[in-house]
Structure 1
């Protein structure tokens, strides 16, 4: 979650000069008092420690630039020093961002970019997916929160900077990128076609069977999300909506101000939406009111869907509605990101993204690494969470592997009978696969090649989406009087 700082420092902070210290000391003497002397002593100690640290950094920089056995650029040393300081925090949400990374973040916030549609972060030495955005190549390929991108087009991502990874993932619309993904103990490969990621962050429609229930899906919290959300609510009302299901699943978050504006629409004026606590300070309390929602309120019965990909601003919104408006949460436990980041831009178009505070739910809970628990637990069928099948090889009768077992599970889910789904590619499995290939106008080889596997996963994904138990549970609540 971001609080954008648009003030860029023109120059790096200067060291205190001797004259500054003398002037400060004279002012201290004029003020008088033992407490002031103690403060001055602490200030001097802090200055000395800072100067000592900066002196050591300068010495290392100079030694490397002038004496390293081969030439090294000043920019590389500078970026390394800045990144090193931030990495020392051990905080995956704080980073010194290059021009490319800065542009990537700004594109995400403005919701206008071309890529695969997955928000990624640097986690240790790995590139990790926070959440895929709905209706994007990443989502359609079955990528999920916490997936590790091990390779991009055959290049290892271990130890690679986030900017480098993003530059490799992005490219011209219509071109392909191959990702090797690790999910738990399994690895698999996916080929994705780059596309323009949807600019609109809120979509909605009436439920097909129950025309009085309006469904809204929020993919991320960008600059115009609250405005889009309000517009969609008004449209659905005109179409006859009397209650709402708001889908926050796989929403990786975004801008805090958008979450505040949207949550205030549902929360009674004066009630708490959010608490933000910075270091050594009491929590700042944000309360619902006209300053956020402009007087626009949603009084209709509402239910919110969450899952493991609901993070940051999506969790702020969901927690506010749950705790301050008694709105039920349906689904599975959310991601658990309870910190606030700010960006400090520099004149060379790089930025420092830094965690500046932790945010608390209205009742004062910190959900970091814990997540929000749903009021009603409901989820997709278990096969929807099965890891993808590795398409680098073809599987045939007689094979025994975990990949074969995954194929058998999907065949069963689609109504075919592959026999005992334990990973042995039996004659019965081959027969079931041939029938599947015939039904889908594929070569009836009885072998599971990449084309067959991709079709199998595509249809299983579609069936899982149609078997959305969480949505059905939310719909039931929305229809209650």
Structure 2
């Protein structure tokens, strides 16, 4: 999350009355006639001289303090400088100065052990700009540094990653057979992204299981806010927010106006799988649903000072949503999604329905380092209105409800075609999926005739010209389309929210 917002500050109280400190000069007895005017001038010049001396002393002390700090800093950096010159002068082959400097910067940020602090170079900084402005070409998954792998924070809804079945907390062990163990987040992102229509193969670990998934890249719109009236109750508008970007709030206003015209009088805001984004977007979106001056969030910096952000016209331009609201969340709801959810929950504006959120309670900013690079790093932690830090804890929903078990199965590997007679975990996983979808199969781990018949039924539903009963990549895609439809029709969280908001 990056922030460019003004925060509340207590302005000093200033009196309109002029200060009246002037006192009558004391009378000094002398053998010479007393001159009040001359005495006043001497007092003035003496005071001025004292002020100059004090200022000079303070200036010298400040200069010495800064000089001492500079000397201390130079001493601390001398090792880094020595290493740099030694490599430049004595390494067995020439090394690019730029490469060494980039490595030093990257190393310092890596040493923070903070997955959200990163050194971004030209193509990587462009990716960041794309992510907050609207769209890019890739698979559509927010990722972070995990232990010896890249971890998926959340796939963006309706993105290639989501359609391929990737989930929050999945670990990407390899990208096109290249291990991610030593990759930075941005190196991984540059490997994953690519031209629309091309493919990338990811080795995924989910729990104790590992499998490969081939994902076709496409144009991903990160700032989409979609809404529709529920078929069963046209007075309820279901609004999905896929990320928090520059145009998210304007998109929300447009959808709300449209749904109102269609008769919507209540709204269910869906931020499940929303990985977050811009802090300013979270502030402005939250303000739409809160009364002016209600606290949206608090930010604590390293000095211990607190900045409070409140709802108001500067965020929402006077547009307010006063209808009843509930929010759908899950473990893929992170960062800005959690700011929005906590703000409405703790102000008594909305109930949260679903499962516990991801738990990201830090704020990042981006600092340009050159024309080709920039640094994104953590500058503060944010707290909910009630001063709770949800980092690595998440937010507990008011009403717990989740998808069926089918949603949590590992993905069936796309590496090979499963055929009759095959035995193993992949076969058993296929049987588990088909069984939960209602097909007559037993979870034996053997590709028997019963499984052949079920696979043929899937292929027939998908209008295959020649249903073979073999489970290939094309059949895998057909199966997961069917899984998606099933989960959509068995959305326990949405059903629970609808039931509660209808009361």
| 1:226 has 2:245 as partner | no
Q: Can you list the C-alpha shifts for 1:319-341, whole angstroms capped at 9, x where unaligned? A: 00000134100000000000000
| 1:30 has 2:57 as partner | yes
Give the aligned partner of residue 451 of structure 2. Answer: 429
Contact 2:276-2:333 at 8 Å conserved across structures: yes
Contact 1:95-1:353 at 8 Å conserved across structures: yes
SS in 2 for 1:475: helix
- In the TM superposition, what is the alpha-carbon distance from 1:412 to its structure 2 partner? 1.2
Give the aligned partner of residue 3 of structure 1. Answer: 3
- In the TM superposition, what is the alpha-carbon distance from 1:398 to its structure 2 partner? 4.6
Give the aligned partner of residue 362 of structure 2. Answer: 339
Aligned counterpart in structure 1 of residue 390 of structure 2, from 341, 356, 367: 367
Q: Can you list the C-alpha shifts for 1:208-266, whole angstroms capped at 9, x where unaligned? A: 12111111111111111111111211111111110000001111111111111111121
C-alpha distance in structure 1 between counterparts of 2:319 and 2:467, whole Å: 59
5+ residue gaps, structure 2, are: 6-52
C-alpha distance in structure 1 between counterparts of 2:216 and 2:324, whole Å: 40
Give the aligned partner of residue 138 of structure 1. Answer: 161
C-alpha distance in structure 2 between counterparts of 1:393 and 1:174, whole Å: 21
C-alpha distance in structure 1 between counterparts of 2:92 and 2:186, whole Å: 27
SS in 1 for 2:485: helix
C-alpha distance in structure 2 between counterparts of 1:293 and 1:440, whole Å: 46
- In the TM superposition, what is the alpha-carbon distance from 1:117 to its structure 2 partner? 1.1
- In the TM superposition, what is the alpha-carbon distance from 1:129 to its structure 2 partner? 1.7
- In the TM superposition, what is the alpha-carbon distance from 1:376 to its structure 2 partner? 0.4
Q: Can you list the C-alpha shifts for 1:338-383, whole angstroms capped at 9, x where unaligned? A: 0000000133231110100000000000000000001001111111
C-alpha distance in structure 1 between counterparts of 2:421 and 2:376, whole Å: 53
C-alpha distance in structure 2 between counterparts of 1:31 and 1:188, whole Å: 67
Q: Can you list the C-alpha shifts for 1:271-320, whole angstroms capped at 9, x where unaligned? A: 21100000122221111122222222111000000001100000000000
Give the aligned partner of residue 426 of structure 2. Answer: 403
Contact 1:101-1:162 at 8 Å conserved across structures: no
Q: Can you list the C-alpha shifts for 1:189-214, whole angstroms capped at 9, x where unaligned? A: 22222111126421111111211111
Give the aligned partner of residue 15 of structure 1. Answer: none
C-alpha distance in structure 2 between counterparts of 1:414 and 1:332, whole Å: 23
> Which has the larger displacement, 235-244 or 423-432?
423-432
SS in 1 for 2:414: coil
| 1:179 has 2:169 as partner | no
| 1:109 has 2:132 as partner | yes
Aligned counterpart in structure 2 of residue 81 of structure 1, from 104, 120, 136: 104
Q: Can you list the C-alpha shifts for 1:94-132, whole angstroms capped at 9, x where unaligned? A: 011111111000000001211111122233542222211
Q: Can you list the C-alpha shifts for 1:398-444, whole angstroms capped at 9, x where unaligned? A: 5442222211111112221112x243444433343344444444444
Q: Can you list the C-alpha shifts for 1:132-155, whole angstroms capped at 9, x where unaligned? A: 111111111111122222222222
5+ residue gaps, structure 1, are: 6-25
SS in 1 for 2:231: coil
- In the TM superposition, what is the alpha-carbon distance from 1:446 to its structure 2 partner? 3.8
1:238–1:436 CA distance, 2 compared to 1 (3 A): closer
Aligned counterpart in structure 2 of residue 66 of structure 1, from 85, 89, 94: 89
- In the TM superposition, what is the alpha-carbon distance from 1:43 to its structure 2 partner? 5.1
> Which has the larger displacement, 210-219 or 46-55?
46-55
Contact 2:214-2:414 at 8 Å conserved across structures: no
Contact 2:156-2:222 at 8 Å conserved across structures: no
1:357–1:200 CA distance, 2 compared to 1 (3 A): closer
C-alpha distance in structure 1 between counterparts of 2:54 and 2:275, whole Å: 51
Contact 2:212-2:415 at 8 Å conserved across structures: yes
Contact 1:267-1:325 at 8 Å conserved across structures: no
C-alpha distance in structure 2 between counterparts of 1:133 and 1:439, whole Å: 28
Give the aligned partner of residue 92 of structure 1. Answer: 115
1:28-427 to structure 2, matched below 5 A, reads 30-31=57-58, 45-198=68-221, 200-419=223-442, 421-427=443-449
C-alpha distance in structure 2 between counterparts of 1:435 and 1:271, whole Å: 56
- With normalisation by structure 2, the TM-score equals 0.85
Structure 1 runs of 4+ with >6 Å offset? 26-29, 39-42
C-alpha distance in structure 2 between counterparts of 1:326 and 1:199, whole Å: 26
